[in-house]
């Protein structure tokens, strides 16, 4: 193995040679004729002309060597159900699902929206789409009807797959009334809605185009559906994520580049080998779930553990018992889960045999040093941070232990991954920062394989959102601040835009503001992210009401605050609910009317907002201070 520095250098200087070699990790039905097409920047096309299929590479290809190895171990502490599927059984289930979808008219290039809890059928459905060449769009089960409707209208699915209910923390969440409302709101209507009946909630879906999965599965029990060989650059999925505007962006992923990038990451970053068992505690509605519950472990021939439940039910030892029972080698979760576990009885950790576990990976939000030190010490295993985004699909910054055992540095997720030409840029000039200088984390063209191809249905938005914010250069902006040290390690310092990160869930403050503004009493609102010891960040909403006299007393104010929280629950889902709603009579703004969000956030965190020469009326700051102090 070369040094990591040389390895990374080659990937940037000669991406064709580097990625041609990596492409051998997957099966190509037709070989590609061009590794990289850079004729139309900032768009890049990888492995042009090559034909492949994600489902074939994740499942069929392993049947020769590992048909009887577990592909999927499913555990739900919500329902008490535990199931195992070998690669052969997984193949059969995916074929049944694909045959059902095909019978409902799903074809290559068409979208299938999945609104599903963490059940095995969610994995079958994603891979069945991949098999058929259909484009899946998984919508996180915590999103409320209006958010779901917006995604239906954007993706225009021919089929929606849903379930009667999800479950979390012992509570059943009915999905069907939500789906009904979403369909009533959406302009686009799918041809069918396929329902997986878990028998958790009375099935109340009104849709006349409703079909039950179980009888169809029986009907197609012995089906074999051939894989569609897709050109490497055809879309595999659309995954919506939040940004600066209220309208979520559909991140489009390709087929070949994604398969190659994930397979390579399993060796170089996660060091997972065929036959290992990996437990990624995330949700299929998020990118970590797409890449490291579903695709990467299966592409590399691992056993993936899919878990429905919380880390603390029935008690805080549940994850460690899973490690022992299933001989888990690799774990991957978000720091929030550990901050929750840290509050539990530490003896629970010692009760299980953790000898199979090699490494715990963490991503999705800043890993604070106390949590990192606590878990590394308690586990006695390496804890490895990595930094990336829905847009990139796999780590931008990591410790590439599969290439060279670089020492981790506390507070940093590591160095730029191979394929990523990362530089830190001055926000105002676009110039490269010197080591130790704070700047925006940018990535040079082309983004490596596996990263987003475009915004669904909106190429112009891809260019204007991501490639136009660093002055004087066509660079991809991550919208994260960072600092790079002399050795190349980057420390993340938070977002440059209006995105916040609540318990590892990415939310746009604008989306929450839009939800709050739909309440009749609200004239104006500002939502900011505020540091929280467990969730990393929480949302605080500062609301200006239309008629202040109506809310003069505490009782009326409290009633309004709880109504506003319910409004967010209904519009966006409980994950968007602000931790506090505070009434103010004015919001701090610049003379040109721009909200001074950073100043509001500073006050909410008990910091001084610094110099604000452009502020319209400084007394607005006092009002924010008073509201925070309950005055």
d(CA 438, CA 468): 20
- Verify binding: residue 157, ligand PRX, rule CB under 6 A: no
- Verify binding: residue 581, ligand PRX, rule CB under 6 A: no
- Verify binding: residue 53, ligand PRX, rule CB under 6 A: no
- Verify binding: residue 589, ligand PRX, rule CB under 6 A: no
Whether the CA torsion 114, 116, 121, 123 is positive or negative: it is: positive
Q: What single string gives the DSSP state of each residue in 46-88?
A: EEET-EE-HHHHHTGGGHHHHTTSEEEEEEETTT--EEEEEHH
- Verify binding: residue 501, ligand PRX, rule CB under 6 A: yes
- Verify binding: residue 414, ligand PRX, rule CB under 6 A: no
The only residue of 241, 277, 329, 372 in contact with ligand PRX, by rule CB under 6 A: 241
Do the bridges between strand 383-385 and strand 522-532 make them parallel or antiparallel, or are there none, so unpaired? unpaired
The only residue of 310, 478, 484, 571 in contact with ligand PRX, by rule CB under 6 A: 478
Nearest CA among 223, 217, 221, 275 for reference residue 68: 275
CB of 281 to ligand PRX, least distance (A): 13
CB of 366 to ligand PRX, least distance (A): 4
CB of 395 to ligand PRX, least distance (A): 8
Whether the CA torsion 295, 301, 305, 306 is positive or negative: it is: positive
Site for ligand PRX in 275-294 (CB under 6 A): 286-288
268/387 with CB nearer ligand PRX: 387
Whether the CA torsion 564, 569, 572, 576 is positive or negative: it is: positive
CB of 396 to ligand PRX, least distance (A): 9
Distances (CA, A) of 532 to 504, 528, 529, 602, 604: 12, 12, 9, 13, 11
d(CA 587, CA 617): 9
- Verify binding: residue 484, ligand PRX, rule CB under 6 A: no
Binding residues for ligand PRX, rule CB under 6 A, total 21
Nearest CA among 122, 124, 180 for reference residue 152: 180
CB of 69 to ligand PRX, least distance (A): 28
- The H or E element containing residue 583 is strand 580-583
d(CA 420, CA 611): 36
The only residue of 388, 394, 418, 420 in contact with ligand PRX, by rule CB under 6 A: 388
Instruction: Give 103's contacts (C-beta < 8 A, 6+ positions apart).
Output: 216, 220
The helix/strand/coil state of 577 is: coil
537/567 with CB nearer ligand PRX: 537
d(CA 130, CA 54): 6
d(CA 97, CA 136): 13
End-to-end CA distance of the chain: 63
CB of 444 to ligand PRX, least distance (A): 17
Backbone dihedral angles phi then psi of residue 478, each to the nearest 5 degrees: -80, -15
The only residue of 186, 293, 360, 492 in contact with ligand PRX, by rule CB under 6 A: 492
Q: Is 375 within 8 Å of 331 (Cβ atoms)?
A: no
Judged by CB under 6 A, which stretch of 57-65, 347-355, 382-390, 458-466 contacts ligand PRX?
382-390
Q: Is 271 within 8 Å of 284 (Cβ atoms)?
A: no
123/288 with CB nearer ligand PRX: 288
The only residue of 317, 364, 401, 508 in contact with ligand PRX, by rule CB under 6 A: 364
- Verify binding: residue 390, ligand PRX, rule CB under 6 A: yes
- Verify binding: residue 339, ligand PRX, rule CB under 6 A: no
- Verify binding: residue 506, ligand PRX, rule CB under 6 A: yes
CB of 568 to ligand PRX, least distance (A): 19
Whether the CA torsion 260, 264, 265, 270 is positive or negative: it is: positive
Distances (CA, A) of 265 to 46, 160, 270: 17, 31, 6
Answer left, alpha or beta for residue 69, where phi above 0 means left and psi between -120 and 50 means alpha.
beta
- Verify binding: residue 372, ligand PRX, rule CB under 6 A: no
Residues 276-289 as b/e (b if ≥16 CB within 10 A, e otherwise) read bbbbbbbbbbbbbb
- Verify binding: residue 385, ligand PRX, rule CB under 6 A: yes
d(CA 348, CA 366): 25
CB of 288 to ligand PRX, least distance (A): 5
- Verify binding: residue 510, ligand PRX, rule CB under 6 A: no
The count of other CB atoms within 10 Å of the CB of residue 500 is 26
- Verify binding: residue 398, ligand PRX, rule CB under 6 A: no
- Verify binding: residue 443, ligand PRX, rule CB under 6 A: no
The only residue of 70, 271, 389, 423 in contact with ligand PRX, by rule CB under 6 A: 389
Contact string 129-148 vs ligand PRX (x = CB under 6 A): --------------------
CB of 496 to ligand PRX, least distance (A): 9
The only residue of 93, 110, 164, 365 in contact with ligand PRX, by rule CB under 6 A: 365
CB of 276 to ligand PRX, least distance (A): 21
The only residue of 495, 510, 577, 589 in contact with ligand PRX, by rule CB under 6 A: 495
The only residue of 18, 387, 394, 542 in contact with ligand PRX, by rule CB under 6 A: 387
Judged by CB under 6 A, which stretch of 141-149, 348-356, 361-369, 428-436 contacts ligand PRX?
361-369
31/370 with CB nearer ligand PRX: 370
Residues interacting with ligand PRX, by CB under 6 A? 241, 286-288, 363-366, 385-390, 413, 478, 480, 492, 495, 501, 506
């Amino acid at each position: 193995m070369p040094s990591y520095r040389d390895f990374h250098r080659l990937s940037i200087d000669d991406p064709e040679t580097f990625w041609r070699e990596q492409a051998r990790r997957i099966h190509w039905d037709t070989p590609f004729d061009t590794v990289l097409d850079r004729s139309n920047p900032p768009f890049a096309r990888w492995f042009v002309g090559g034909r492949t299929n994600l489902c074939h590479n994740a499942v069929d290809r392993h049947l020769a060597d590992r048909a009887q190895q577990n592909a999927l171990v499913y555990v739900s502490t919500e329902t008490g159900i535990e199931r195992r599927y070998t690669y052969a059984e997984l193949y059969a289930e995916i074929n049944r699902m694909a045959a059902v979808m095909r019978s409902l008219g799903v074809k290559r290039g068409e979208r299938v929206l999945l609104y599903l809890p963490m059940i095995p059928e969610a994995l079958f459905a994603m891979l069945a789409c991949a098999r058929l060449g259909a484009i899946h769009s998984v919508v996180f089960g915590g999103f409320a009807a209006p958010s779901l409707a917006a995604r239906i209208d954007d993706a225009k699915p021919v089929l929606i797959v849903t379930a009667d209910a999800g479950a979390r923390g012992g509570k059943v969440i009915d999905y069907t009334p939500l789906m009904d409302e979403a369909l009533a709101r959406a302009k686009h209507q799918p041809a069918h809605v396929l329902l997986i009946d878990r028998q958790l909630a009375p099935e109340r879906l009104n849709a006349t185009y409703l079909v039950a999965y179980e009888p169809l599965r029986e009907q197609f029990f012995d089906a074999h559906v051939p894989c569609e060989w897709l050109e490497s650059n055809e879309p595999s999925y659309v995954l919506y994520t939040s940004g600066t505007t209220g309208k979520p962006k559909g991140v489009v992923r390709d087929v070949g580049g994604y398969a190659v990038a994930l397979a390579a990451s399993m060796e170089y970053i996660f060091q997972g080998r065929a036959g290992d068992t990996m437990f990624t505690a995330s949700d299929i509605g998020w990118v970590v779930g797409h890449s490291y519950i579903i695709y990467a472990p299966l592409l590399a021939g691992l056993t993936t553990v899919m878990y429905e439940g919380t880390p603390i039910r029935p008690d805080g030892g549940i994850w460690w018992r899973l490690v022992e029972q299933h001989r888990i080698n690799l774990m991957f979760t978000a720091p929030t889960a550990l901050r929750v576990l840290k509050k539990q009885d530490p003896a629970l950790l010692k009760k299980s045999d953790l000898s199979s576990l090699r490494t715990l990976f963490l991503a999705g939000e800043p890993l604070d040093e106390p949590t990192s030190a606590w878990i590394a010490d308690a586990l006695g295993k390496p804890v490895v941070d990595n930094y990336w985004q829905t847009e990139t699909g796999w780590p931008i910054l990591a410790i590439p232990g599969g290439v060279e055992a670089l020492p981790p540095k506390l507070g940093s997720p590591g160095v730029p991954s191979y394929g990523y030409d990362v530089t830190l840029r001055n926000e105002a000039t676009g110039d490269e920062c010197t080591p130790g200088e704070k700047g925006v984390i940018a990535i040079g063209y082309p983004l490596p394989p596996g990263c987003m191809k475009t915004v669904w249905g909106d190429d112009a938005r891809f260019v204007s959102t991501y490639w136009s914010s660093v002055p004087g250069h066509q660079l991809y902006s991550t919208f994260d601040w960072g600092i790079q040290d002399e050795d190349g390690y980057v420390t993340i310092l938070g977002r440059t835009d209006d995105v916040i990160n609540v318990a590892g869930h990415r939310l746009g403050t604008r989306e929450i503001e839009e939800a709050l503004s739909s309440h009749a009493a609200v004239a104006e609102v500002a939502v900011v992210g505020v540091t929280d010891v467990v969730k990393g960040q929480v949302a605080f909403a500062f609301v200006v009401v239309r008629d202040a006299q109506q809310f003069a007393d505490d009782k009326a104010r409290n009633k309004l605050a709880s109504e506003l929280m319910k409004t967010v629950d209904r519009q966006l889902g409980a994950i968007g609910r602000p931790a506090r709603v505070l009434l103010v009579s004015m919001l701090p703004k610049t003379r040109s009317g721009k909200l001074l969000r950073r100043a509001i956030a500073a006050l909410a965190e008990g910091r001084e907002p610094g110099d604000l020469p452009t502020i319209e009326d400084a007394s607005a700051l006092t009002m924010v201070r008073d509201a925070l102090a309950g005055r």
